[in-house]
Structure 1
Amino acid sequence: MDDTLRRAALDYHQFPQPGKMRIEPTKRMVNQRDLALAYSPGVAAPCLEIAADPDKALDYTARGNLVAVISNGTAVLGLGAIGALASKPVMEGKAVLFKKFADIDVFDIEVDTTDPEKFIEAVALLEPTFGGINLEDIKAPECFAIEAALRERMNIPVFHDDQHGTAIVVAAAVRNALVLQGKALSEARLVTSGAGAAAMACVDLLVSMGLPVENVTLTDKDGVVHDKREGMPPNMARYARRTDARTLPEVLPGANVFLGLSAPGVLKPEWLPLLADKPLIFALANPEPEILPEVARAERPDAIVATGRSDYPNQVNNVLCFPYIFRGALDAGATTINEAMKVAAAEAIASLARLPAHESVASAYGGRKLVFGPEYIIPTPFDPRLIVEIAPAVAKAAMDSGVAKRPLDIEAYKRSLAQQNTRSTQLMMPVFEAARHTRTRIAYGEGEDERVLRAIQDALDDGIVQPVIVARRRILAQRLPELGLRFELDKDVEVIDPETDHAILGPLVDAYRNAAARKGVPSAEIIRHVYRRPTVTAAMLLRTGHVDAALVGGNSEYWGQVEHVLRTIDRGPGQSRVYALSGLILDAGALFITDTHMVPDPTPEQIAEMTMLAAAEIRQFGLEPRVALLSHSNFGSSHSPSARKMRTANAILREKAPDLLVDGEMHADAALSQRLRERLVPDSRFDGPANLLVMPNLDAANITLTALSASSSSPTVGPMLMGLSRPIHVLTPGVTARGILNLTAIAAAEVMQQKR
């Protein structure tokens, strides 16, 4: 690495505090009673339960979600035998990956011995502490004996990731690459460069998936692994060939797969013509591969190439599997990670790569087009669907193979993982259920936007929408294949093309003239607005009944798009204004804020109106609204105009909506803390934290929303427009495909609610 990267890495690890992880309690400890429950005397109760039934440890301790990442530092990344202490940053890094990708807690443990027997004994004695053991960076051949001994002695999963993690991802990549090359695993011929822990695990797993043993040829630093070689361990001897060949180029002719897990530059360009037609070249040595991809492709443009590096396509990265294998194994109470579970993980990874790439993946990789093909044979590490696909597959394999002690309902387990993985899923689930299979006709104004197109694909897959896209067909015909999207124009979606669909757009011009001519739109601009402003086009499709709902905007300033909507779609009966409601999915639960975008300084009557609209909207999410009217004043402590406004709004609400759980005016901390409210007033109208914060003005609402969103990286739902006669929402410029999908479901649910 260069000096700039080295310095940045050192600063990253040192500041603002040394290391990459810390331990935080999951239970409160703020008073003497908490201390008595957490420690003496209360802690005796779970201790006695566990003594009577060891499986109760999963109920009363963190063991069921706790993994040890353990190394002796004898084979650390590309650094070699740097020792146990020097390996600690790597083990901390592995711990962070477990937490980030699968929400698994980890203690990293560095064992200061190179003696396999001492290492085995040290690790085996830790079984009561952990739900699983991840062995890391232990050199071959000791790693084989260490893992085998620990698997034999311990009744929890023991997994040497350098072997099996690599093998699982390689197997998934080989499976998909062979599909693309029109070949079968059962007919493939594989040659390795390297016969260490990772290489042996790769060929073993591929053989268990259908690769014939006789089709495997191993080579290492001593040449071809042949039947006359002495001193081979049993796992290597299994593949020893009866051959006079002794060097790598001698065994390459006709090989379909080159699997390199060895050293830089081992595979020479002049040897590549020896490989079979359409070969797979897996050059996985790090940081420098056996051959650089550009060199390989220059010589063999028909090859599919994979490396271990993130700066090339097809990165074989263990993080694609190890967090999710442990997630599934822990949740199923597996006593081991067996071959069936590894095969299930590999097949799940391969299947996921064949689906259209997730929108968040495109964002993480700078908008690079990720479509199943020669440069996208395995998913990327940031695909949020990995946990939902791999962990259940592993858990099911554990159950089917008889090693699971806690059988799971796999479909319910998938839903649970989806809720954990995308925090908005839990909040949105009732809305999606209400919208599912309704086939609501929804117009999308910005139909050429990648985020919109990805959201439409997801909405079609969920069966919640019949999309009507305002877009140019010629652009869509080009974009859909680039994005790997599966829906068909004029079959799965209706396209309204401003360049060609004059029979539809023509009548909209007259209708728009009647709606907007007296709302500030010059007559000369009417036609241009309908044909050139997709927000107007989509809104008019809604106004004239061509669709049931509409989503517009997303590519320009929010208020400008809102003005087009307000000229086109009437307010609902009896509504004085239109308001915006936004939601945040925080660790503590959902929190809604209004009015975040529309009315700068609402009156008490408007405060009451927006509150009742927001309460009705929140009920669609399956929540009972608990409303706090916020102010700088706490329950009459100030008589400023702002405080009086919120106090008056409270009185109006008590009269108009007596069953609504609303209170105020109050500080935000009182809104979110029942204990604090109880100290301030004896008769608070609701229990627990508020889930709807009503602000005295737009500045307060928008600032609170954006500050909370930025400081917590919380997913945002909305903004949802309230008070219009028809369901239509304006997308903000920063909206994601997931945000558009959420608003699609909300709009569909609103249509169903209106029909009811």
Structure 2
Amino acid sequence: MSTAQSKHAEHTGEAFNLKEAALAYHAQPRAGKISVTPTKPLGDARALTLAYSPGVAFACEAIVEDPRSAGTYTSRSNLVAVITNGTAVLGLGDIGPLASKPVMEGKACLFKQFADVDVFDIELAENDPDLFIDTVVRMEPTFGGINLEDIKAPDCFYIEQQLRKRMNIPVFHDDQHGTAIIVAAGILNGLELVGKEIGNVKVAVSGAGAASIACLDLLVSLGLNKSLLKVCDSQGVIYPGRDASMEENKARYANDTSDRDLADAMVGADIFIGVSKGGVVSAQMVESMAAKPLIFALANPHPEIAPEKVHAVRDDAIVATGRSDYPNQINNVLCFPYIFRGALDVGATTINEEMKLACVRAIAALAKEPLPGHESSALTPLQLIPSPFDERLRSWVAPAVSQAAIDTGVATRVPSGT
């Protein structure tokens, strides 16, 4: 057996073992990853009388009299729907609603584990955006917030936009905004480390889908100069007047340039953001970038360029990926549990730009704080953002989001002591 065959066999064996372990994890000792657990005792006749008929009628009447009291007498104020139609699931593509259910259950587990937010996962067999929207709008009485998940672009932009207009609870597409928030926090800290200002940096982007556009929108809110951006999709650089594969959200980032491909766009760039596919960036392209570049190669499972290939040609680069086996993993779990925790805690009617920016700044600031037992800043080129398991995230991020909601007038209640 050749070395290549040996490596392939080893890799296949690892993949097989992972598959077996993952399937066993999902199936045993009980199918699935979530369940409904009562929050009140139900062990005797009195408890049943209070929990259901006739006692439950008093809670119903109280809500009729004051609909806001639903947050007091039901779980609605801590309940989020994770909703998908399964049209863009992880790296699997359009696998449909049923096959997407394990992912939605996984998301529910993360909400609960990291921020004690309860979740019902909902997989809708509906690919028509308007019918999908109508269905979700009708669920507003049940939930305190809506987390949209794994919906293909450009439908996801329209769906979120319309739901935000029609609903009086937070609606958040995590594939867009969760990624954008963590990328923005990482870039702010990376720029601080290399001594550059966000308003002066040149940025090359590979990918013009939901996550990419959301990253750019948020970075522009933080001061990024749109005129210094070069965005590429599968057809090359996006520029005014281009006909191929254009739509409204891409067109917002079309800049006048003679560059026509990613290699052109990366020449002299201070930052590369990749939300596209593996292997599209070469070592030569990295060499052409400006001094002290930030490289966010976020494609999964294979980044646009592997960190070791970057470091082979640049000793001044800071690299982030979407993978847990490299430093600086851009992981949405740093964001979505806590932005919803903060929104729910004050009964926010939306998640607005100021709340997202507060989330960015809180995550970035926490990364600079000394770790427990240490005196110096935790911020290094290998640690741009906190670990997902940093227990301080909830106490840093959620209150910052809540305060932004209060400051911008979208909170419906203010916790005592705020």
Same fold (TM over 0.5): yes
Aligned counterparts of 1:275 and 1:104: Cα–Cα separation in 2: 43
Which of the residues 368, 376, 380 maps onto 2:387? Answer: 380
Equivalent in the alignment of 2:154: 141
Equivalent in the alignment of 2:21: 8
Contact 2:295 2:319 in 1 (8 A): yes
Which of the residues 139, 145, 156 maps onto 1:126? Answer: 139
Contact 2:369 2:377 in 1 (8 A): no
Which of the residues 293, 297, 301 maps onto 1:279? Answer: 293
Aligned counterparts of 1:283 and 1:114: Cα–Cα separation in 2: 30
Which of the residues 394, 400, 403 maps onto 1:396? Answer: 403
Structure 1 residue 271 displacement after superposition? 1.1
Secondary structure in 1 matching 2:246? coil
Equivalent in the alignment of 1:299: 313
Aligned counterparts of 1:174 and 1:321: Cα–Cα separation in 2: 15
How large is the RMSD of aligned CA atoms in angstroms? 1.4
Structure 1 residue 228 displacement after superposition? 1.1
Secondary structure in 2 matching 1:85? helix
Given the two structures, how large is their TM-score scaled by the length of structure 1? 0.52
Q: What percent of counterpart residues are identical?
A: 59
Matched, 1:160 2:173: yes
Equivalent in the alignment of 1:506: none
Structure 1 residue 96 displacement after superposition? 0.2
Structure 1 residue 355 displacement after superposition? 1.0
Equivalent in the alignment of 2:279: 265
Structure 1 residue 131 displacement after superposition? 0.2
Equivalent in the alignment of 2:54: 41
Aligned counterparts of 1:42 and 1:274: Cα–Cα separation in 2: 71
Contact 1:29 1:35 in 2 (8 A): yes
Aligned counterparts of 1:408 and 1:56: Cα–Cα separation in 2: 15
Given the two structures, how large is their TM-score scaled by the length of structure 2? 0.94
One-letter amino acid of the counterpart of residue 273, structure 1: E
Listed as ranges, the gaps of 5+ residues in structure 2 are: 1-13
Matched, 1:203 2:249: no
Aligned CA distance change for structure 1 residues 358 and 261 (closer, same or farther; 3 Å): farther
Which of the residues 237, 241, 244 maps onto 2:255? Answer: 241
Contact 2:146 2:170 in 1 (8 A): yes
Contact 1:190 1:215 in 2 (8 A): yes
One-letter amino acid of the counterpart of residue 391, structure 2: P
Matched, 1:179 2:192: yes
Equivalent in the alignment of 1:110: 123
Contact 1:77 1:137 in 2 (8 A): yes
Structure 1 residue 272 displacement after superposition? 1.2
Aligned CA distance change for structure 1 residues 92 and 370 (closer, same or farther; 3 Å): farther
Aligned counterparts of 1:169 and 1:53: Cα–Cα separation in 2: 38
Contact 1:370 1:376 in 2 (8 A): no
Secondary structure in 2 matching 1:87? helix
Equivalent in the alignment of 1:530: none
Contact 1:358 1:383 in 2 (8 A): no
Equivalent in the alignment of 2:378: 371
Equivalent in the alignment of 1:51: 64
Aligned counterparts of 1:77 and 1:164: Cα–Cα separation in 2: 15
Which of the residues 195, 199, 204 maps onto 1:191? Answer: 204
Aligned counterparts of 1:358 and 1:251: Cα–Cα separation in 2: 42
What pairs up with 1:718-737 in 2 under 5 angstroms?
Answer: none
Deviations 1:687-708 (A, max 9, x none): xxxxxxxxxxxxxxxxxxxxxx
Secondary structure in 2 matching 1:306? strand
Equivalent in the alignment of 2:6: none
Contact 1:192 1:217 in 2 (8 A): yes
Structure 1 residue 370 displacement after superposition? 9.3
Aligned counterparts of 1:12 and 1:94: Cα–Cα separation in 2: 15
Secondary structure in 2 matching 1:86? helix
Which of the residues 92, 100, 103 maps onto 2:113? Answer: 100
What pairs up with 1:600-615 in 2 under 5 angstroms?
Answer: none
What pairs up with 1:262-661 in 2 under 5 angstroms?
Answer: 262-358=276-372, 371-409=378-416, 412=417
Q: Which has the higher contact order (CA 8 A, sep 6+)?
A: 2
Residue correspondences, number: 403
One-letter amino acid of the counterpart of residue 358, structure 2: A
Aligned counterparts of 1:267 and 1:406: Cα–Cα separation in 2: 48
One-letter amino acid of the counterpart of residue 37, structure 1: L
Aligned counterparts of 1:19 and 1:79: Cα–Cα separation in 2: 20
One-letter amino acid of the counterpart of residue 263, structure 1: K
Structure 1 residue 236 displacement after superposition? 2.0
Deviations 1:610-662 (A, max 9, x none): xxxxxxxxxxxxxxxxxxxxxxxxxxxxxxxxxxxxxxxxxxxxxxxxxxxxx
Secondary structure in 2 matching 1:127? coil
Aligned counterparts of 2:295 and 2:346: Cα–Cα separation in 1: 36
Equivalent in the alignment of 1:252: 266
One-letter amino acid of the counterpart of residue 354, structure 2: A
Aligned counterparts of 2:313 and 2:295: Cα–Cα separation in 1: 12
